[in-house]
Structure 1
Amino acid sequence: MSFIFTFLLNLLLVTGQVNSGEIHLTIEETEWNEGNLQILLFDQKDGFPEDPEKALKQFIIPVKNKRGYIIIKDLKPGNYAITVFHDEDLDGKIKKNGIGYPLDKFGFSNNPSLLFGAPSFEKSSFKVGEKPAKVLIKLR
């Protein structure tokens, strides 16, 4: 009986550790306090940076003091990338000009330089492990 109890306890401990990763995400450089920040979290390059159907998780958080903050919990260790935009008018869509460049403020994890379009998953990705990953995105 004690063997079964020990086995189940160890299984619970191991299972709890598998999804124990966290991301502490701070978003800065919003111009206004109005609206929300729309966030997509990806764990793969497929769909990155803007396909919500292929994102691992989606979040909507309010802007406070021209910034946003969220703790994303229960993540498996691995590589992740984040896309965010400031949805000032609360329509849920990023506005773009005639050639497809965003008019709403936006950003990516690692704040990569943008020369010819959106960055790759690899340029925006970061590791999540046992310690919380601290990510700062500055909107542009």
Structure 2
Amino acid sequence: MKMISAAIVATAGLLLSSHSLYANENNTSEASTFGELIVVVNATASDDGVVDVSLLETAEQFSNQQPPLRTCRQPPQQQKAYCHFNDLKHGNYALFIFHDENNNQDLDENFVGAPTEKLAISSIDLSNNDSPTFEQSAFQFDSDKAQVFINLQ
């Protein structure tokens, strides 16, 4: 992930919907510490290339000093892509997503360093924040199954 320039005018919509199912053999409540996170990415530029989703759990991963916790690369269909992160430990995470239209595995930039491919960061409106942090972007994942809907801009 590259630093985001002030020239970016993008917005990311994040909606975390979840439900929890707690049950054991005795029908008593017992919370699981792992779950499934489904990321639904909307508004790709086209159905070309792939959507690159990076799941991040630390500030070092967010600033590209360490590799992401997990990644998912899926081709968009009808300008939408889905990524499933199974057996994910409950905790705080951030998402960095971009539409790699030319499938070169890089977020392409113009001559001033502004991205030329659509992107989104969880919980961040990039038109109002050109230097987001992990803490600003993080969301809490604490369900057996949850969905995140995010729009690329």
Find the aligned partners of 1:123 and 1:86 in 2 and give their Cα distance.
22
Find the aligned partners of 1:112 and 1:120 in 2 and give their Cα distance.
12
Q: Match for residue 61 of structure 1?
A: 74
Identity across the alignment (%): 28
Residue 145 of structure 2, aligned match among 129, 132, 135: 132
Structure 1 stretches lacking a partner, 5+ long: 1-16
- Count of aligned residue pairs for this structure pair: 122
Structure 2 stretches lacking a partner, 5+ long: 1-31
Higher helix share: 1
Report the Cα offset of residue 33 of structure 1.
Answer: 0.7
Structure having the higher Rg: 1
Give the 3-state SS of the residue equivalent to 1:65 in structure 2. coil
Deviates more, 1:102-111 or 1:78-87: 102-111
| C-alpha RMSD of matched pairs (Å) | 1.8
Find the aligned partners of 1:81 and 1:43 in 2 and give their Cα distance.
6
- Are residues 99 and 115 of structure 1, via their aligned partners in 2, closer, same or farther at CA, if it must alter by over 3 Å? farther
Give the 3-state SS of the residue equivalent to 2:123 in structure 1. coil
Give the 3-state SS of the residue equivalent to 1:46 in structure 2. helix
The amino acid across from 1:78 in the alignment is G
Tell me the TM-score normalized by structure 1. 0.78
- Are residues 52 and 31 of structure 1, via their aligned partners in 2, closer, same or farther at CA, if it must alter by over 3 Å? farther
Superposed structure 1 runs of 4+ greater than 6 Å apart: none
Report the Cα offset of residue 57 of structure 1.
Answer: 0.8
Residue 51 of structure 2, aligned match among 12, 21, 37: 37
